[in-house]
Amino acid sequence: MLSAKQHLLTALAAELEKLQTGAGARAAFESPKVAAHGDLACTAAMQLAKALKQNPRQLSETLRSALLATPAFERWVDAIEIAGPGFINIRLKDAAKQAVVHEVLQAAECFGDQPAKSDKVLVEFVSANPTGPLHVGHGRQAALGDAICNLLATQGQQVYREFYYNDAGVQITTLANSTQLRAKGFKPGDAEWPEAAYNGDYIQDIANDFLAQKTVKSDDREFTGSGDVNDLDGMRLFAVAYLRHEQDLDLKAFDVQFDNYYLESSLYTSGKVDAAVQKLRDAGKTYEQDGALWLKSTDYGDDKDRVMRKGDGSYTYFVPDVAYHITKWERGFGRVVNIQGTDHHGTIARVRAGLQAAGAGIPAGYPDYVLHTMVRVMRGGEEVKISKRAGSYVTLRDLIEWTSKDAVRFFLLSRKPDTEYIFDIDLALAQNNDNPVYYVQYAHARICSVLAAWGGDVASLAKVDLSPLQSLQAQALMLALAKYPDMLTSAANDFAPHDVTFYLRDLASQYHSYYDAERILVDDEAVKQARLALVAATAQVLRNGLKVLGVSAPQKM
């Protein structure tokens, strides 16, 4: 169907261009809101009518006649109907809809993918401070970032995954002090225990291993504890390495990998922060006031100017962010996507202002942001708020251990990022149709069971005669398969992996309806082969979509 649709789109563009120069570039098909109205819809006549000073319905009739006379429409279209003020509804021939089955089976795991491009895109996500275990909010960010990377890759873009972490500043000092207090025998609740200290049991674990002079190793560092309770600097380095290792384990359990870990401290030691500030000074975009250095961020749409350097000489937190994003641009990433919590909303305007003011040639609107809300966890009808491991929040590892990687990923991706999400542990464990990930995976396993019972070579189905696929359920399933590539493109453009979850649930529903309506392993060989080809194609698209989400496609359940 994809090739047929492209031929039809080319024919439509040519006819629109005849009506008005430039109109052909806007040629597009839509899916009718009501399936009974047809397979494709076109609103071009209504859009052009005013400019051409014609009645939209009459213009639709003119366009209809012209389209039916084209070779592409003669070959692939059964009928064109005009509805309402000028909607053009197109009914495809069975062969056009059936063609998608062969297209899926021939492309296999590449179905829906676009050709490789030279575009380089950097996606920064998780970026958790190394001060504690990853919480469920980090989990949502990890699922979003990884799925968005996979979506962009399907569109042919060269994707680079980066983890930026703040290994400098007040929080790291608090981590070191908390660990030292534990090493000295103090604990939360003691008079000596500061209110700002970290309370989780993991702090005691760090202190014990430091005193035991253990060596900790993470993806980007390794450090051995000295065992000296007064070695605060060594304790700081040990604690950061320890928690980076813990985060590595969390990410490994979640099957998330990064191409690079970028340290905030390196921006200072390499002089990049000072260089960024100097760029802003040289551009005349700063001024001194009240003992502080200010950025003229209101010149770039911010609601007020922002302090860059405080009176004590330290930089505010958005300054290293500006320096960091200058390095992204200098490393050749013309497109950058940041996945962050909604609490970072206020930094967007000031970071973009700083990048514009620096005069480094960075375009306005750089970088892109995807902001997500936090996650509430429910179990037995009550909210779960505390993890003993973390001390004050549910960790990502808790969620995975309570359910599964697949459930956590699918659930956390099933809503728009900026909407609040309630993760229901009981639902994630349910083996019924109310559990969305189970529903989709079961559809795939059900198909695998049918194919196993048949026992033939799936590759042989790529060229079978599909003409027996005539039923309404079969045609609905084929139309659903044909939507997959456009859905991927739209989801990638909108940074919307939740669209993939919606699509997969709909495809699974279409399959279950088809399975209930028609027996697949019938005696008639031609009918059986056609039906097997259809369900094999459906399994392939389910696998492809689940892979984008980082979710497995089990053959048995």
**In angstroms, rounded to a whole number, what is the distance separating the alpha carbons of residues 483 and 403?**
31
pLDDT digits (tens, 9 = 90+) for 211-234: 999 999 987 789 999 999 999 999
Mean pLDDT estimate for the chain: 94
CA angle, 68 then 70 then 71, to 5°: 115
The pLDDT of residue 389 is 55
| Per-residue confidence band for 392, with pLDDT thresholds at 50, 70 and 90 | low
What single string gives the DSSP state of each residue in 128-195?
A: --TTS--BHHHHHHHHHHHHHHHHHHHTT-EEEEEEEE--SSHHHHHHHHHHHHHHTT--TTSTTS-T
- Neighbouring residues of 39: CB distance < 8 A, sequence distance ≥ 6: 32, 90, 91, 92, 96, 97, 479
Asked if residue 307 is part of any domain, the answer here is no
- Neighbouring residues of 455: CB distance < 8 A, sequence distance ≥ 6: none
The pLDDT of residue 136 is 92
pLDDT > 90: percent of the chain: 86
Task: Give helix 272-282 / helix 345-357 axis angle, nearest 10°.
Answer: 70
Paired tokens of 34: 């009501």
| Per-residue confidence band for 37, with pLDDT thresholds at 50, 70 and 90 | confident
pLDDT at 391 over 70: no
Reference 11, options 26, 27, 23; nearest CA is 27
Mean pLDDT (whole number) for 124-132:
90
Paired tokens of 268: 């200072």
**Secondary structure letter of residue 113 according to DSSP:** P
Side chain identity, residue 273: V
Instruction: List the CATH number of the domain containing 519.
Output: 1.10.730.10
| Per-residue confidence band for 31, with pLDDT thresholds at 50, 70 and 90 | confident
* Residue 80 domain boundaries: 2-92
CA 40 to chain centre: 28
Paired tokens of 467: 């003409």
| Per-residue confidence band for 168, with pLDDT thresholds at 50, 70 and 90 | confident
**In angstroms, rounded to a whole number, what is the distance separating the alpha carbons of residues 542 and 537?**
9
Cβ atoms of 534 and 447 within 8 Å: the answer is: no
**In angstroms, rounded to a whole number, what is the distance separating the alpha carbons of residues 127 and 289?**
33
Asked if residue 144 is part of any domain, the answer here is no
Mean pLDDT (whole number) for 401-429:
96
What single string gives the DSSP state of each residue in 431-443?
A: -STTSHHHHHHHH
Paired tokens of 407: 């459930």
Question: For the chain, how many structural domains are there in total?
Answer: 2
**In angstroms, rounded to a whole number, what is the distance separating the alpha carbons of residues 364 and 301?**
11
The pLDDT of residue 394 is 87
Asked if residue 443 is part of any domain, the answer here is yes
The count of C-alpha atoms lying within 13 angstroms of the C-alpha of 63, restricted to the half-sphere facing its C-beta, is 36
**In angstroms, rounded to a whole number, what is the distance separating the alpha carbons of residues 309 and 273?**
11
Mean pLDDT (whole number) for 392-418:
93
Paired tokens of 245: 């290792």
Which of 60, 92, 124 terminates a domain? The answer is 92
Side chain identity, residue 31: S
The pLDDT of residue 130 is 86
**In angstroms, rounded to a whole number, what is the distance separating the alpha carbons of residues 399 and 42?**
46
Q: Which residue has the tokens 């024919």?
A: 11
- Dihedral through CA 325, CA 330, CA 331, CA 337, nearest 10? 30
Q: Is 11 exposed, middle or buried (0-12, 13-18, 19+ CB in 10 A)?
A: buried
pTM of the model: 0.91
Reference 480, options 448, 447, 503, 502; nearest CA is 503
Instruction: List the CATH number of the domain containing 74.
Output: 3.30.1360.70
pLDDT at 1 over 80: no
**Secondary structure letter of residue 483 according to DSSP:** T
Which of 25, 60, 92 terminates a domain? The answer is 92
pLDDT > 70: percent of the chain: 99
Omega of the bond leading into 85 within 30 degrees of 0 (cis): no
Mean pLDDT (whole number) for 478-497:
97
The pLDDT of residue 64 is 94
The pLDDT of residue 386 is 65
pLDDT at 480 over 80: yes
pLDDT digits (tens, 9 = 90+) for 301-324: 888 999 999 999 989 989 999 999
What values do phi and psi take at 156, rounded to 5? 85, 5
**In angstroms, rounded to a whole number, what is the distance separating the alpha carbons of residues 467 and 474?**
11
Asked if residue 207 is part of any domain, the answer here is no
Q: H/E element holding 549? A: helix 525-549
Asked if residue 12 is part of any domain, the answer here is yes
The pLDDT of residue 36 is 81
Reference 11, options 58, 90, 48, 66; nearest CA is 66
Per-residue b or e along 469-486, where b marks 16 or more CB atoms closer than 10 Å to that residue's CB: beeebbbbbbbbbbbbbe
pLDDT digits (tens, 9 = 90+) for 103-123: 999 999 999 999 999 989 999
CA distances from 198 to 78, 189, 386, 388, 536 (A): 69, 12, 14, 12, 53
Reference 325, options 281, 356, 370; nearest CA is 356
What single string gives the DSSP state of each residue in 503-538?
A: HHHHHHHHHHHHHHHS-SS-S-HHHHHHHHHHHHHH
The pLDDT of residue 157 is 97
Which of 49, 70, 92 terminates a domain? The answer is 92
Q: H/E element holding 90? A: strand 87-92
pLDDT at 405 over 80: yes
Asked if residue 376 is part of any domain, the answer here is no
What values do phi and psi take at 415, rounded to 5? -135, 160
The pLDDT of residue 387 is 58
Asked if residue 343 is part of any domain, the answer here is no
Asked if residue 361 is part of any domain, the answer here is no
pLDDT digits (tens, 9 = 90+) for 146-162: 999 999 999 999 999 99
The pLDDT of residue 388 is 54
